[in-house]
A and B are shown apart, each in its own frame.
Chain A
Amino acid sequence: DAGVTQSPTHLIKTRGQQVTLRCSPISGHKSVSWYQQVLGQGPQFIFQYYEKEERGRGNFPDRFSARQFPNYSSELNVNALLLGDSALYLCASSRAPSSYNEQFFGPGTRLTVL
């Protein structure tokens, strides 16, 4: 079975631009979470979606938004990019929102903002 997939792998944007990152969960997983991992830090929770509904939101500005589609894939959108948004964006999927013992991470999308 395929693991969590994310696209694109790498992305370079300039300040003020907008970006959309995509995530496909493991088959059968209905919960998707997004994390931001700045270089040298641990992942920081951004959003969690379950059954297409937002179940949690971390301490991130409104420039960050996300959605989950009927097939449980998800998109993370970031508007008005800042230099500080440069990070590895990780997607993780699980069967249910708190099933962390069976939550699997994708390889991430490396975003660089110039």
Chain B
Amino acid sequence: GQQLNQSPQSMFIQEGEDVSMNCTSSSIFNTWLWYKQDPGEGPVLLIALYKAGELTSNGRLTAQFGITRKDSFLNISASIPSDVGIYFCAGQASGNTPLVFGKGTRLSVIA
């Protein structure tokens, strides 16, 4: 099935560093979502974006809906050990279509 292109695939960073990851699609989406998944659990929604160019923050997390509507970005500032996990982007093309997920970015934080 279709999956979004998410990069990087994995990251190893030092505690306190900032993190950037992105997600691209060959088609336009009307909604972009970012999730975090911890081992043994389902994904948890971090940020939802509904408008091209929108920039939304949730604590140390900031996400942007690309103006082309074919990409989205997630930044994490001042990373901490509990940021470890897999981050997924997901997009929805229209109100009647299902979510399409990326393959995930695995984040490791070195204390």
Contacts and interface: CB of A to CB of B under 8 A. Distances in A.
B1 A105 contact: no
A45 B98 contact: yes
Interface stretch (B13-21, B43-51, B65-73, B75-83): B43-51
Contact of A43 (B6, B31, B44, B101): B101
B48 A100 contact: yes
A100 B41 contact: no
Given A105-B44, A107-B42, A100 B1 contact: no
A33 to B, nearest CB: 7
Interface residues of A, number: 23
A42 interface: yes
Nearest to A90: B42
Given A41-B103, A43-B43, A59 B95 contact: no
Nearest to B86: A42
A107 B37 CA distance: 10
A42 B102 contact: yes
B43 A56 contact: no
A45 B99 CA distance: 7
A90 B44 CA distance: 12
Contacts of B92: 98, 100
Given A98-B95, A107-B42, A42 B48 contact: no
A105 B43 contact: yes
A16 interface: no
A108 interface: yes
26 contacts: A40-B104, A42-B90, A42-B102, A42-B103, A42-B104, A43-B99, A44-B1, A44-B101, A45-B1, A45-B98, A45-B99, A45-B100, A56-B97, A56-B98, A58-B98, A90-B42, A90-B43, A98-B96, A100-B33, A100-B45, A101-B45, A104-B42, A104-B45, A107-B42, A108-B41, A108-B42
Interface of A: 4, 33, 40-45, 48, 56, 58-59, 90, 92, 98, 100-101, 103-108
